[in-house]
Each structure stands twice: as structure tokens, then as C-alpha cells.
Amino acid sequence: MSKKVDWSRHDPGWGGVILGAALSVALGVIVGAAVLVFKPVVVVKERPKEPAAGVTYFIEGARDSSKAKQAAAKWKALAQGASGTFSFTEVELNTLIAPATPAAAAKAKLGEKGAPLPAAGELLKAGTPNFRIRDGVVQIGFPVTVSALGADVTVIVQAQGVFAKQGDGFAFEPDTLTVGSCPVQRLPYAPTYARNKFLAAQTGAEDMAAVWSKVVSVAVEGNTLNLTMP
């Protein structure tokens, strides 16, 4: 006489079903995020009057080499310990952090191939940041070259936010953060990781970091960034 099979021993139960569903959702999120991360971003000077559906835009901050001396003079005063409030426009900020040579500048342009490549064994390499300031909000964007499986792909990371007091100094706190076409602020822990990995790395040269550590107030008014020194 054949024995009856006790299917309850082979049934995964509700716990197994829930776990399987959770893993499926997590895998879907990861795959979906990866697709969006590498979806091309359109770089523009101004937001289109009629944005195309499903397209992520990066509105690039202005640059003007004729402002280089003016920006350098302000920063030199800060570095030498001048007190008071100094105002910087996005043009001046982009001039201060621009690559030193035309060749380097050409390679560092957002959205272009040929941005600085990662060193051997380095998975991620952030390029020169670009600032845009509008209506009290600071946007920081920069190309990130991802090196994997023998290929190099450049994506644009862009964040919009404000500067806030953090410990003994000030740090940029993004309200929105987009990697490629993926709004990562919607993913758990992603904004913190991305900020620490990319934004925190964009502190500039040592002299800039030294000046920044002495700032007693950071305020964004309209289209300018105001730094107050003791």
C-alpha cells in the first residue's frame, strides 16, 4: 500500500512566500535602478520650455574665463585671512574649480566621453564639478566614470540642495540626488552613500579646504553664495 505524501513538509509556508516576494521586489529595484543610472542625460544651458517625457536634463552652470582674475582675487583675500562677507556667483565658482589647462578642461566637460578615467583597480572616478545657483538653491553636478568589465562609462551625478551647519563647519546637504537618470533619494541609504562617495570628495584643493574650514556663515541669496569669514 502506497504511503501518502505529507505536502506540508515541502510547502515553503507563508514565511517562504513573503521572503521570495521580497527578494523579487529587491532584485527588480536593483535592475531598474541600474537601467536608469546608465540612461543618457541631456546636458542643456537652460530648461526646455517643453521638456520631453521620460528625459532627464542636466542644466549646466555658466562659465566665463573673463571672470577668472576677479574670482581669484576674492579667493586670495579669503586665503590670506580677510574678514567679512564675500559673494560668489556660479560663474566665479566654476572658474575657481576649472581644470588648469584647456586640454584638461575639454576632457572634464560634463556628458562628454574622454573624461578623466579611473586609475587601475579604481571602480569610480569623479570629474570636475559644475555649480549652478538659482533662487536660493545650489546645484552641483559632475561626471563620474564607472570602470567595470573592461569598459568605461560616464554618468552625470547631480544634486540640488543647500549648505547647512554640520559639526564645526558647513556641508552641502542635497534635497534631490540623481545618478544618471535614477532619482536615488528614493532608494534606502542611497543618498547618504552617494553623498559620502561623491559629494564629500569634491572639497577642492588643500587651500580651498583650509579656507572652507574657517567660514563662520554660508548663505545662498538669490543667485549668489555668500561666505562670511571671522
**Residue 20 scores a pLDDT above 50:** no
- The mean pLDDT value of the chain amounts to 73
Look at strands 182-183 and 169-179 and give their pairing: antiparallel
90: cell is 556660479
The residue whose grid cell reads 574678514 is: 83
**Whole-number Å distance between alpha carbons of 212 and 199:** 15
Given this model, what pLDDT does residue 99 score? Answer: 52
For the chain, how are helix, strand and coil distributed in percent, rounded to 5? 35, 30, 35
More confidently predicted of 9 and 96: 96
Given this model, what pLDDT does residue 89 score? Answer: 94
CA gyration radius, the chain: 23
Calculate ∠ Cα 55-45-86, nearest 5°.
Answer: 125
More confidently predicted of 148 and 90: 90
**Whole-number Å distance between alpha carbons of 160 and 104:** 26
Given this model, what pLDDT does residue 147 score? Answer: 75
Condensed to tens digits (0 to 9), the pLDDT of residues 53-94 reads 989 999 999 988 888 888 889 988 988 889 999 999 999 998
The residue whose grid cell reads 528614493 is: 186
**Whole-number Å distance between alpha carbons of 146 and 195:** 16
Look at strands 217-221 and 182-183 and give their pairing: unpaired
225: cell is 553664495
Residue 223 DSSP label = T
**Residue 192 scores a pLDDT above 90:** no
The model's pTM: 0.72
Q: Could you tell me which of 23, 54, 22, 20 has the C-alpha nearest to residue 39?
A: 54
The mean pLDDT value for 163-175 works out to 83
Q: What percent of the chain has pLDDT over 70?
A: 63
Given this model, what pLDDT does residue 17 score? Answer: 47
Given this model, what pLDDT does residue 90 score? Answer: 93
